Amino acid sequence: MILGVCKFCKKEFRKRERTRKFCSLICANRFNLNNLNKVKLPEKSKEFAEFVGICLGDGCAFGYQVAITLNSIADSLYVPYVTKLSGRLFPGATISLIKRKENAFDIRINSRQVVEFLKANGVVSNSKFIPNWIITNPFYVRSCLRGLFDTEGSISFKLYQSNTGLSLYKQLNFRNANTILIRFVRDNLIKLGFKPTNTLKRSLYLSNHQSISLFRQLIGFSNPKLLERSLIETAEQYKIWKSEI
């Protein structure tokens, strides 16, 4: 049995995860209430705009915690990136990695101060919005789009027979139930010269190799899963990739 000492009440407790520092959520919240001044909040920047996009895609802010939920398998290489980004943006905050269920991890920032700060920047449960400081800055817009696509985007493939032989069709998809986020993504892709297609109210996509290559150049991917898939352009490359995963 692995035992730990709670950082707040100093009581010994059974550690179900090696990263746990408190015996209960109550102690974690009280610890953060007593240490509000130790958390340094970020200035407006490309990194923070990307983080806002990540939270708008797969994050929530509630009570005394910010939680970003990622797939432990598909996003295994992206989890460390988001964890380090969180640490750089919010030095002094307690950041933990919690396994929620079989294929999901939560990156949690334990700080009421950070929660309130992110709520003011659009990360509001059931009512997310893009803060004005991002909307009015084209560099911040691109960073926010990267965070949104890294969390809510996917790249799908389809092989088909063409006049020249076996060919590969590829789509970069974005799906979200929030119409404000869908509109933000669509309008700014159009401003950058893309021609996104809306299939349903909750989704849009870019559907050729040239568009996805341009997306990679102008906006980019921080999620290695999407970066790797974006580079696949032929049926042969797809077959090799498929056989390796």
For 30-77, write each residue's pLDDT tens digit: 665 555 547 899 999 999 999 999 999 999 998 889 999 999 999 999
Q: What is the pLDDT of residue 183?
A: 94
Count of domains forming the chain: 2
What is the domain range of residue 25?
Answer: 1-33
Supply the pTM of this predicted model: 0.84
For 171-227, write each residue's pLDDT tens digit: 999 999 999 999 999 999 999 999 999 877 789 999 989 999 999 999 999 999 999
Q: What is the pLDDT of residue 28?
A: 73
Q: What is the pLDDT of residue 202?
A: 86
The verdict on residue 24 lying in a domain is yes
Give the helix, strand, coil percentages of the chain, each rounded to 5. Answer: 40, 25, 35
The half-sphere exposure of 188 on its side-chain side, counting CA atoms within 13 A, is 25
The verdict on residue 25 lying in a domain is yes
The verdict on residue 172 lying in a domain is yes
The β-bridge partners of 204 are 174, 198
The verdict on residue 193 lying in a domain is yes
CATH of the domain at 190: 3.10.28.10
Q: What is the pLDDT of residue 136?
A: 97
